[in-house]
Structures are given as C-alpha cells and as structure tokens.
Amino acid sequence: MWDRWPGRASRSRTSAYRRRKPGRALLVLAVLLIAAAVVWVRAIGHAKDVNALTRCPASSDGQETPLPYSALDTVTPAPPNEVRVTVLNGSNQRGLATEVSAQLTDLGFGPGAAPADDPLYPQGNLQCMGQIRFGPDGAAAARTLSLLVPCTQLVRDDRAGAMVDLSVGTNFSALTPSSAAHTILDQLTAWSKAHPATQSGNDVAPHITIAPSLLAAAHTATC
C-alpha cells in the first residue's frame, strides 16, 4: 500500500521521527542532570571528609579560629622568600621542628623564630597532621605553606604581621611536597627575582599568576 502513496509514507516517517526526537532530548537532559547531581554530591562529601580528616583538637588557649579546608583557595600565594615560618613541635618526636624548619629553608622560605615545642600543646598531644596559624595579614603566606602540607588545619588568630606558624602534630612524619607544589614554588621564586623591588606581604599577591589547575593539584591530597 505504501508503494502506491510514497508521499504519505514519507510524511508518516517524518512525523514518527519528530515524536521520538523530544523523548531522546529529554533522556539526554535527564542523564546530564543526574551526572551533575552526582558530581555536586561527591564534591560536598569530599569537602566534609577533608575538614574532618584535618581537624585538630582544640587547645586550652581557645583564642584561635579553625577555618575550613578551602578557606584560602581564592588567595594567591606569596613567594617563599617573602614567607617567615616558625616551626613548632606539637608531637613527642624529638627534633622534628628543627628538621622541618631546615627543609623549609632549603625550599627558599624565610626564617621565623627558632624551632621550639608548641606552647599550645605542651604535652605533645596535637593529634592531627598539624596546624598552620596566621593572622589577618598572613593569608598569602599561609596559602603558600598550605600547598606544601595540604593536610594541615588552617587556624587564624589575632597576631600582627604576616609571619606564620607551622605546628607539626602526632600524625606528621615528613615534609614531602608534591611535584605541583615544587612547580609553584619555582614559579613564585622566579616571579620574586623578576620583581626585586616589590615589597613583601599581601601587596605582592594580586600581581602573581599561578594556573588554578596547578594550585588545585598542589592542595589536593589523601589525608
């Protein structure tokens, strides 16, 4: 029958195709929405997991403010030679602060105060990877340090200046920066050498450009 009315057959097939086309589009849209939801849920879950894994016990002082793991993600890191770090030992592992301080110096970081036991955890009971402590002016410096030790907890206090403390805890074994962190340090150091007249501190941060993917790679770790 269709051979006798070819035009009618063509219109029928076109009409059927048009009826099927919206269904396919809706199916594709549904798949995309489900995929986006899965990614979003995983991202939220990962953030919660990392915050839990990097959390340290509160000190008896109680003057510090723990921050979320992602608190410095939008802060541009400062060149290592502009960062003054004091390493404190919050564990019972003898000589750990001195060892880490020497490693940071080798990586180009500026000297802070002499390594010492952590006065906030005098019993060596900082039961976590460690803490990076900084004041209002030390965000860029803390950001740089956090790229080397991404599983440490960020803690803000009311100190003046841009100097930061790195307190190593009972879960800390060694300073082992990732390849992405080394690359960032190299880029920051090269920038600093190319701009020797620039003052230290947060004023330098907006002028430095580091690829977001590189920053993300350096600050992503299995804690």
Judged against a pLDDT cut of 80, whether residue 55 lies above it is answered with: yes
The answer to whether residue 89 sits within a structural domain is yes
Per the prediction, the chain carries an average pLDDT of 83
Give the number of other CB atoms < 10 A from CB of residue 77: 28
pLDDT confidence of residue 40: 33
Q: For residues 66 and 34, which has the higher predicted lDDT (pLDDT)?
A: 66
Query: 20-24, 25-29, 80-84, 195-199 — which one is most confidently predicted on average?
Result: 80-84
pLDDT confidence of residue 92: 95
Give pLDDT tens digits for 124-155. 999 999 999 999 999 999 999 999 999 999 99
143, 211 contact by CB (below 8 A) = no
The answer to whether residue 2 sits within a structural domain is no
Q: How far is CA 45 from CA 37, 49, 140, 164, in A?
A: 12, 6, 27, 30
Residue ranges making up the domain that contains 194 = 65-218
Give the number of other CB atoms < 10 A from CB of residue 75: 17
Q: Which two tokens stand for residue 202?
A: 């947060």
The answer to whether residue 107 sits within a structural domain is yes
Determine what percent of the chain is predicted with pLDDT higher than 70: 74
The answer to whether residue 1 sits within a structural domain is no
The answer to whether residue 53 sits within a structural domain is no
32/211 Cα distance (integer angstroms):
28
pLDDT confidence of residue 215: 96
The answer to whether residue 97 sits within a structural domain is yes
| β-bridge pairing 153-156 and 130-134 | parallel
The answer to whether residue 12 sits within a structural domain is no
Structurally, the chain folds into a number of domains equal to: 1
Amino acid identity of residue 132, one-letter, is I
The answer to whether residue 48 sits within a structural domain is no
Element spanning 72, H or E:
none
pLDDT confidence of residue 143: 98
164, 134 contact by CB (below 8 A) = yes
pLDDT confidence of residue 213: 96
| β-bridge pairing 84-89 and 116-117 | parallel
